[in-house]
Amino acid sequence: MGIDQLSDAGWPTGGNRPLLVMLFSPEELAERFGLAFVDDADDLGPLKLAVVQGSFGIAGLIRYADSPFAGTTVFVEDAADLELSHRTVVSEFGLTSSDIGWAVRSAGLLDVVRDSARLRELLAIIEFDVARTEVEGPVSIESGLALEPVAGDFTGGRFYLCGDAGGERQVLYASSEGQAGLIASNLREALQLIVGLPAWRDCLTFANGGSLEAMADAARRRQSGQVSPAAREAAELLSLDLPAQDVLLSRLHAAASRSAPEFVFRDDTGEHEGLF
C-alpha cells in the first residue's frame, strides 16, 4: 500500500500522539513524496500540516513554525499500535535510522517481550532476563526520575527504565560491582545494543576513562562480530534492525558520557561509580 494524501479538514477526529520525527522539512517531504502542506495552527502555535494514509492508518505530518528541533513529526491515532505503526511508516516512507530524530514506540516493546515465552527465553540467554527484576532496598538517581527495573543479567546487574511510563525512557544499567549509568536512549536501542554488541560490558570495562577508541579496541578483541543464533532470532521476533557495531558503540559511549550528574545511581550500598 502506498502513501495517499487526505484532506486536512476534520483531522484529527479523536486523540492522537507523536510516533516519530522524520528529519525532513515539509519542503523536502513535498519534493520527495508529492505532498502538499497547508498552514494551520493549534494551542502550540502556527504549523504546517499534511494528512496522509497508508498501512499505518491515518497520520498527521506536522512541523511547528517555532520548533527548535529539526524535522517533521508524525502523529498517529491514540489507538494505533506503536510498533506496527513504526514499522509501516518506516517502510512506506523508506526511512533509515539516520532519517529518524526520535521515536516513541518502546512503550509497547516491553509488553511484547513479557507476553512471549520464546522471547523471554532468548533474551535471558543473551543476559536480558525479564524475570530478574527484584531489587533489594530503595534505588534512585540524582534527577529524581522514577526507576523501573525491567531485566537483569547473570552477574546480578539490573536494567532500569528512567522516568514515568507512557513516554520514551532512557535505559540505565547498574552492575553488581558498583558501576552504573545510561546505556541507551530507549528500550529499543538498549536491545539493539545487547543483541548486536555482545561485548558491550567489556567495552565499558576497558574504556580507559571514556575513550571511544579504547572501547572499539575492546570490541575487536573481545568478540568475533558474529551475532549468536539466539540473538538473531530475538532480533527477528522483535523486528529489530541491527545497526553496524561502530554505530552501537558510539551510541553506548554517548549514553554513558551523559550519565552524570542527573543519572548518578544510588542503592542501599551507596552511590555507584560511572560506567567508565
| pLDDT per position as a tens digit, 137-160 | 999 999 999 999 999 999 999 999
Is the pLDDT score of 163 beyond 70? yes
Paired residues of 63 in beta bridges: 48
Would you say 161 and 171 are in contact if contact means Cβ atoms under 8 Å apart?
yes
Closest Cα to residue 191, out of 223, 159, 147, 167? 159
Higher pLDDT, 131 or 225: 131
Q: How far apart are CA 205 and CA 216, in angstroms?
A: 12
Is the pLDDT score of 97 beyond 90? no
Q: What is the pTM of this model?
A: 0.64
Q: How far apart are CA 240 and CA 218, in angstroms?
A: 24
Q: How far apart are CA 128 and CA 113, in angstroms?
A: 11
Q: How far apart are CA 64 and CA 84, in angstroms?
A: 26
Q: How far apart are CA 81 and CA 169, in angstroms?
A: 18
Q: How far apart are CA 105 and CA 18, in angstroms?
A: 10
Q: Which three cell numbers stand for residue 85?
A: 505503526
* Domain locations along the chain: 4-104, 107-271
Is the pLDDT score of 74 beyond 80? yes
Percentage of the residues of the chain whose pLDDT score is greater than 70: 94
Paired residues of 75 in beta bridges: 18, 60
